[in-house]
Structure 1
Amino acid sequence: MGAIEKLTSSALSAVAHGFLGRSGGVSAGIYAGLNVGLGSADNRAAIDENRVRAANAVLSGAALNTVHQIHSNKVITVDRPFGDDRPEADAMVTATPGILLGILTADCVPILFADEQARVIGAAHSGWKGSITGIMDETVKAMVKLGASRENIACAIGPCIAQKSYEVDEGFFERFIEADPANDHFFIGGKAGHYQFDIEGYVAARLAAAGIRKIECMGEDTYSQPDRFFSYRRTCHKAESDYGRQISLIGLTQQ
């Protein structure tokens, strides 16, 4: 599927990073392209090759670390590679050069974090459950424990499902309103009994409330761009048996 597409953020320009799409990989069929999801039923050899290609596209020679994502607000600190022995968590932080943090998504929100001065980075997977329970807040806290400062942390929010594509029901809406009535700002009316949710905007607002001053939203909708991104919701609507995952990566070079 051609060359790897790597989206980068001006907010993180001094740090090796990239939001990768589905192009440039060796998987076939419904996984066609750069599927890196170990939880998918894709051919394992193809997944492994795609993960090598993805890592090399961002920080060649670095050790790729991904977690077993569980839609939580759990953050782990990484100081050495853990390979296939993936701990359960939804975010990672590190101050160790040569380690590449990777977050897998297929509509959920990937967030990359960096304090360039302190040389502390983070990566988070923020689905709606992780978002409402504060995975972004917990990632910032973990970075501060490693020496970062909130005023110096920059964040980039990668490709995710857009408001126009994210229909939710009344119960979903009420859950967010009960958490904070001001959350109605992130919903617009849809068909009867349904709403359209702006998860990208919600995550950005939570980051700002956590003291982050520099935030960039990539503004790419995973659902409506099948040639560029995998999408869990699109797979459900097409009644496909499984779906691929794309990866967002950030790492520190050796000084």
Structure 2
Amino acid sequence: LAVYTADCVPIFLVEETIPVVALVHAGWRGTLASIARETVFAMSSLGANPARIHAWIGPAICGVCYEVSEELLHTFIERFSHLAPAAEFCRGRMLDLPRLNALQLQAAGVPDAHISNSRLCTFHEKQRFYSYRAEGQRAGRLISLIGITSPAKPM
């Protein structure tokens, strides 16, 4: 599986006991649609147990750099304030998509101890990553890959 990103959040998901993996591209639209949570539910339909899923949140624009409109910010606050206080995923007009996706994973049953965040910001680290916010249409893309090479062995 592969996703291309240039500020959006790549999320790698692995079930530790069966050969079920997923790779999520969570931009603001996907995050608003709860794509991380929905992916855990889809993995569950294939036999995965959310308590045995491990997630890694890859490089993405961070909550210090991702400014959104007041209208969009209020939409996110209305939609997700049941997961955590708004201050946990936004400050002013800055929206923290990696944190919000981690909250969605937790709400879907993935243990907090199983969620790792790279904390690498594509906007701050323009020399290492592509950033649509910084470079616009000419920005390249980061490719994220995940696959299954052999039957699952307990982690």
1:171 and 1:110 map into 2 onto residues whose CA distance is: 25
Aligned position for 1:146: 46
Aligned position for 2:90: 187
Secondary structure of the residue aligned to 1:156 is strand
Secondary structure of the residue aligned to 1:123 is strand
Aligned position for 1:104: 4
1:251 and 1:198 map into 2 onto residues whose CA distance is: 27
Per-residue CA deviations over 1:64-92 (Å, capped at 9, x if unaligned) read xxxxxxxxxxxxxxxxxxxxxxxxxxxxx
Aligned position for 1:80: none
8 Å CA contact 1:136, 1:207 repeated in 2: yes
Q: TM-score, normalised by structure 2?
A: 0.88
Give the partner amino acid of 2:121: D
Task: Describe how 1:54-133 pairs up with structure 2 within 5 A.
Answer: 101-133=1-33
- Segments of structure 2 that go 5 or more residues without pairing to the other structure are none
Task: Answer 1 or 2: higher relative contact order, Cα 8 Å, separation at least 6.
Answer: 2
Aligned position for 1:204: 102
Alpha-carbon RMSD: 1.3
Aligned residues: 146
Give the partner amino acid of 1:206: Q
1:180 and 1:136 map into 2 onto residues whose CA distance is: 13
How far did 1:254 drift? 2.8
2:85 and 2:71 map into 1 onto residues whose CA distance is: 14
Identity %: 40
How far did 1:205 drift? 0.7
Q: TM-score, normalised by structure 1?
A: 0.55
Secondary structure of the residue aligned to 1:137 is helix
1:109 and 1:250 map into 2 onto residues whose CA distance is: 15
How far did 1:123 drift? 0.5
Aligned position for 2:57: 157
How far did 1:183 drift? 5.3
Moved over 6 A (4+): none
Aligned position for 1:242: 138
8 Å CA contact 1:176, 1:183 repeated in 2: no
8 Å CA contact 2:41, 2:108 repeated in 1: no
| Bigger proportion of residues as helix | 2
Looking at CA atoms only, which structure, 1 or 2, has the larger radius of gyration?
1
8 Å CA contact 1:113, 1:155 repeated in 2: yes
How far did 1:180 drift? 3.4
Per-residue CA deviations over 1:199-254 (Å, capped at 9, x if unaligned) read 11111111101100110000000011121100100013xxxx52211011111113
2:100 and 2:80 map into 1 onto residues whose CA distance is: 12
1:204 and 1:230 map into 2 onto residues whose CA distance is: 22
1:168 and 1:138 map into 2 onto residues whose CA distance is: 24
How far did 1:164 drift? 1.4
- Segments of structure 1 that go 5 or more residues without pairing to the other structure are 1-100, 190-194
8 Å CA contact 1:160, 1:200 repeated in 2: yes
